[in-house]
Structure 1
Amino acid sequence: MNIAAPQASALQDDSIEQPLLSVRSLTRYYGTRIGCADISFDIWPGEVLAIVGESGSGKTTLLNCISTRLPPTSGTVSYSMRDGVLHDLFKLREADRRFLLRTDWGFVHQNPADGLRMAASAGANVGERLMAVGDRHYGHIRETAIDWLDRVEIDAGRIDDQPRAFSGGMRQRLQIARNLVTAPRLVFMDEPTGGLDVSVQARLLDLLRGLVNDLGLAVIIVTHDLAVARLLSHRMIVMKDGRVVEQGLTDRLLDDPQAPYTQLLVSSILQG
């Protein structure tokens, strides 16, 4: 299924001629089992796309493939580099893909321990990304880290504390700061509110929505929570058994789902 750019949206202007990320016929098998199959879509600068579905639907496999953490069995993933040229990501050198993940992209894990250096200080976690883009001035790195801790509502006095001393919500906010400090153009998020208390989730979602809007980020977010998708995303892909069953503008899809599976997902939320 091909997912076109939104027609009635301020996300695109006439100066944007091509998508930031383009996925075509992406398929991943685990032996004979389908992880995801024949998936195509584009994401444009400043757009938030949610990939939703129940556990085992293939959404995390898809996210790992398009973020180059997992090679696809077939299909292509192309990214518009800062030179304006779309490059096939799996034809890049491994070192170039790793550099993208450290600089132009961000990846927010469900478990923040997977995205943080737990034995390093909060400041070092943020500063490490700055060093990856060439900043070597200790004073500037520390000043920027303090600024970002403030932006994600972590007391600057905790800059020298290790993440293991933080609560789950604080760790997740620190992981967000670590990812956004290099001003990436594209951020991948895998269940960023999963495992958090409801009150902590609400605070984190409010923070994320503000940062995404302020920074004009393109985001691909995987979630099983339709409320998260409605709050954060412009468009939504619904997956089941590794395939896309429905796609469209988020509000339209949630208010008037067409596929029986999407109707089931939406009705289960309403009944809850």
Structure 2
Amino acid sequence: MTTSPILSVRALEKRYGTFIGCTDVSFDLWPGEVLAIVGESGSGKTTLLNCISGRLDRSSGQVLYRMRDGRFPDLDDLSEAERRFLMRTDWGFVHQNPADGLRMRVSAGANVGERLMAVGERHYGEIRHTATEWLSRVEIAAERIDDQPVAFSGGMRQRLQIARNLVTRPRLIFMDEPTGGLDVSVQARVLDLLRSLVSELDLAVIIVTHDLAVARLLSQRMIVMKSGRVVESGLTDRVLDDPRHPYTQLLVASIPES
């Protein structure tokens, strides 16, 4: 088992003037681990995710990432080219709205193929073959490879976005409410797919969700946020079955009984 974290966040803070987006957040993420960040709207969880993933500049603190060559730099110490390459290859980002993570006017195959080209693939036949394989893995029929995402349902778009992100075999995936905009029946299918792929590829994942059922299904560990601060953290089952903080207790109590 790996004894080193793939990601370390230390005393991270994001301020907008006097308003605190998130503050004093520290945690480690291990290879193959899924960490859920939960909280109600405005709790700071998406701000935190965007700071960690480099989509938003942080005000202070560190975000350290274990590179494939063993280095463990702060992301701010990487060159712009290194950061861009990381985001195109070693990392993935699954958006709540698939249109934010796809090119809607190019084909499904091209959406997947673009990521392969970013890691140096140039053989058209091989790119198309790999894209077809990945469409199949996310339950999109091979004959849809030349169709544009605008012709797809919401669930198909989300599955295509997942394929686009995972085709380069990244080591770390960020997910922002990946099932938030989907119908309940479609949500279940996408979650089942995510769970099997995360396990199969041994991915490290940080998932932001307000849905505690999603957190329980996908994550081993959980961080609970309120007003930009971490109020509770621990193993997902422990936090949900025996919440210690009054805010977590409130969140858990508000889950409708099935």
Q: TM bucket by the smaller chain?
A: over 0.9
Give the alignment partner of residue 164 of structure 1, picking from 150, 153, 159. Answer: 150
Deviation at 1:95, TM superposition (A): 1.6
| Matching of residues 40-79 of structure 1 within 5 Å | 40-79=26-65
Q: Unmatched 5+ residue regions in structure 1?
A: 1-12
1:195 aligns with 2:165: no
Deviations 1:41-62 (CA, angstroms, capped at 9, x unpaired): 0000000000000000000000
Name the CA distance, whole Å, in 2 between partners of 1:110 and 1:217.
Answer: 19
SS in 1 for 2:255: helix
Give the alignment partner of residue 102 of structure 2, picking from 116, 124, 136. Answer: 116
Deviation at 1:270, TM superposition (A): 4.2
Name the CA distance, whole Å, in 1 between partners of 2:231 and 2:137.
Answer: 38
Question: Which residue of structure 2 lines up, in the alignment, with residue 27 of structure 1?
Answer: 13
Name the CA distance, whole Å, in 2 between partners of 1:78 and 1:128.
Answer: 27
Deviation at 1:17, TM superposition (A): 2.8
1:17 aligns with 2:41: no
TM-score by length of 2: 0.99
Name the CA distance, whole Å, in 2 between partners of 1:71 and 1:90.
Answer: 9
Name the CA distance, whole Å, in 2 between partners of 1:191 and 1:125.
Answer: 21
Deviation at 1:198, TM superposition (A): 0.2
Name the CA distance, whole Å, in 1 between partners of 2:25 and 2:126.
Answer: 43
Name the CA distance, whole Å, in 2 between partners of 1:156 and 1:271.
Answer: 39
AA in 2 matched with 1:195: G
Please provide the CA RMSD for this pair: 0.8
AA in 2 matched with 1:142: R
Deviation at 1:195, TM superposition (A): 1.2
Name the CA distance, whole Å, in 2 between partners of 1:99 and 1:58.
Answer: 27
Aligned pairs, number: 258
TM-score by length of 1: 0.94
Question: Which residue of structure 1 lines up, in the alignment, with residue 66 of structure 2?
Answer: 80
| Matching of residues 234-253 of structure 1 within 5 Å | 234-253=220-239
Deviation at 1:31, TM superposition (A): 1.3
SS in 2 for 1:147: helix
Question: Which residue of structure 1 lines up, in the alignment, with residue 131 of structure 2?
Answer: 145
Q: Unmatched 5+ residue regions in structure 2?
A: none
Name the CA distance, whole Å, in 1 between partners of 2:119 and 2:237.
Answer: 38
Name the CA distance, whole Å, in 2 between partners of 1:62 and 1:76.
Answer: 12
